Structure 1
Amino acid sequence: MEKVKAKKHLGQHFLTDLSIAEQIAQAVKGHMEVKKVLEIGPGMGVLTDFLLEGELELYLIDIDKESVAYLHKKYPTLNEQIIAGDFLKMNLEELFAEKFAIAGNFPYNISSQIFFKILEVKNQVSEVVCMLQKEVAERIASPKGNKSYGILSVLLQAYYDIEYLFTVPPHVFDPPPKVNSGVIRLTRNSVDKLDCDEKLFTKVVKAGFGNRRKTLRNCLKPFNLPAEFNSHPILDQRAEQLEVADFIFLTQTIEASRGNH
């Protein structure tokens, strides 16, 4: 079978090191509570081969028509479990009625968007094991107080326990990316729903990190915090110093003040 050519506009970098593919697959299989797994961007199936060795019910989604044709030839038995399409536009609730996991070597240029999409169906996605740009992987797994801690860190850590598993060098890809990659695992925690308005929580987190150098007192001005709250010490801090619970507290305060009007 002829190899698929990596397409720059799709951010494709095909993994060529089988031992790393096996490590990623082990991180999925050794940990799974659900049997359904959706692999995003399987390319030529380097990771797929190892995922298929388990008892998993595997689905593949790729936006690249050439990759999809290649995968159909390589895995004729998967048939309808190979989906040609854009993960970001998929109706995942329609595709899977029950809980499932996600795995894959995420295209660097859309990895953040993939996570925002996962957050939309967080009660269905019980686990994610993925490889992405090391900087983004570190940001997602970062604890508060770090320079890399940001919007995605808070939003994902509200619903998932996150582990940074290992770093992958550029030379094991074809073509090699210009940066290192990192593999992380997200495991859904026991929080069904945050103790506040979740849409407002997202807005508060985004506003808090809107200008990292400013204190929260400045960043949250548009929310018209109650005057008596203005002297609260939490507002003297910057967003990167707050953990998930602090952002929930701020959201609750804003909600309560709106309820009083």
Structure 2
Amino acid sequence: MADEQVEGAVKAKKHLGQHFLKDETIAQKIADTLSLKGYHHVVEIGPGMGVLTKYLLQRELDLVAMDLDSESIVYLNHSFPLEHSDLLKNTDRLQVIEADFLKYDLTRLYGEEQFAITGNFPYNISSQIVFKMLEMRKQIPEFSGMFQKEVAQRICEKPGSKTYGILSVLVQAFYEAEYLFTVPPTVFDPPPKVDSGVLRLIRKADIQLPCDERLFFNVVKTAFNQRRKTLRNSLKTFNLSDNLKEDTIFDQRPEQLSVADFVTLTQKIANDPV
């Protein structure tokens, strides 16, 4: 009976990409993906009606639940604490914020402290969430959550695959990426038209690339924007010297290059005398 009340409490909004998770076992599995090693602050994006929130609060952490949906915020501030008062004896453990994660300045919450990100991410902004995480990678040791399956697989994909792309290279330059498990549409309300996938990213011990990082990002994005072409053709906008373009690395297509290869390519371009 309680589940029926929760399911009816907030209406999923299509324009926000909302699909509310209703499977308790999967919620617990996502909450358990975080190691909490070296941090205790966690941001949950898109908490909806708090199915994942509840299991996160069973762990020793301080949680910020951030949602753009004002209806969800009202529910989390009023109904959720009543249902889970045993988890919220210390009300400082949960802070509910109505905000757009993509626009919110997270240093207002944590300054320069470390924090993790998790959630059942809205599909329509999931890639943008990853790019914001990359911008703040020095403060984010772990990141986990649910994406559309093909996006989660793409992030974790290795070189040589047709799905290996910009997100794969940029994420794996700084994080160890692991695809954990697939989730069927039936565990959501309303059910999406596709499968979902849960992944975990753990920041590498050394995230300083031995090249110009801004140039690295630019090279990766430019190369994959014309992924069917060889690098010699896709990177024409860099006005490379004829001598450099003779290098055999330019015979390859972007999906053939590992992160280390892209670092080498960036170094070559940075040292090109032209």
Shorter-chain TM-score range: over 0.9
Return closer, same or farther for 1:192/1:79 CA change in 2, 3 Å cut-off.
closer
Q: Output the aligned Cα RMSD.
A: 1.5
Q: Show CA shifts across 1:174-203 (max 9, x none).
A: 000000000000001022321111111111
Q: Show CA shifts across 1:108-156 (max 9, x none).
A: 0000011111111110011011101000000000001111100010000
Letter in 1 for 2:100: D
Does the 8 Å contact 1:72/1:78 carry over to 2? no
> 1:213 matched to which residue of 2?
228
Helix, strand or coil at the partner of 1:82:
strand
> 1:255 matched to which residue of 2?
270
Identity %: 57
> 2:61 matched to which residue of 1?
56
2:188 pairs, out of 161, 173, 178, with 173
Helix, strand or coil at the partner of 1:130:
strand
What TM-score results when the alignment is normalised by the length of structure 2? Answer: 0.90
Question: Within 5 A, what are the aligned runs for 1:193-232?
Answer: 193-232=208-247
1:4 lines up with 2:13 in the alignment = no
> 1:96 matched to which residue of 2?
110
For residues 31 and 79 of structure 1, what CA distance do their matches in structure 2 show? 15
Question: Within 5 A, what are the aligned runs for 1:1-261?
Answer: 3-28=9-34, 30=35, 32-73=37-78, 74-75=80-81, 77=91, 81-97=95-111, 98-257=113-272, 260=273
Does the 8 Å contact 2:62/2:92 carry over to 1? no
For residues 109 and 191 of structure 1, what CA distance do their matches in structure 2 show? 31
For residues 249 and 36 of structure 2, what CA distance do their matches in structure 1 show? 38
For residues 64 and 102 of structure 2, what CA distance do their matches in structure 1 show? 16
For residues 56 and 40 of structure 1, what CA distance do their matches in structure 2 show? 16
Does the 8 Å contact 2:62/2:93 carry over to 1? no
For residues 214 and 253 of structure 1, what CA distance do their matches in structure 2 show? 19
For residues 132 and 56 of structure 2, what CA distance do their matches in structure 1 show? 23
Does the 8 Å contact 2:115/2:140 carry over to 1? yes
What TM-score results when the alignment is normalised by the length of structure 1? Answer: 0.95
Letter in 2 for 1:40: I
4+ aligned runs moved over 3 Å, structure 1: 30-33
Return closer, same or farther for 1:78/1:12 CA change in 2, 3 Å cut-off.
farther
How far did 1:227 drift? 2.1
**Which runs of 5 or more residues in structure 2 are unaligned?**
82-87
Of 245-254 and 15-24, deviating more is 245-254
**Which runs of 5 or more residues in structure 1 are unaligned?**
none
Does the 8 Å contact 2:155/2:171 carry over to 1? yes
Return closer, same or farther for 1:144/1:22 CA change in 2, 3 Å cut-off.
same
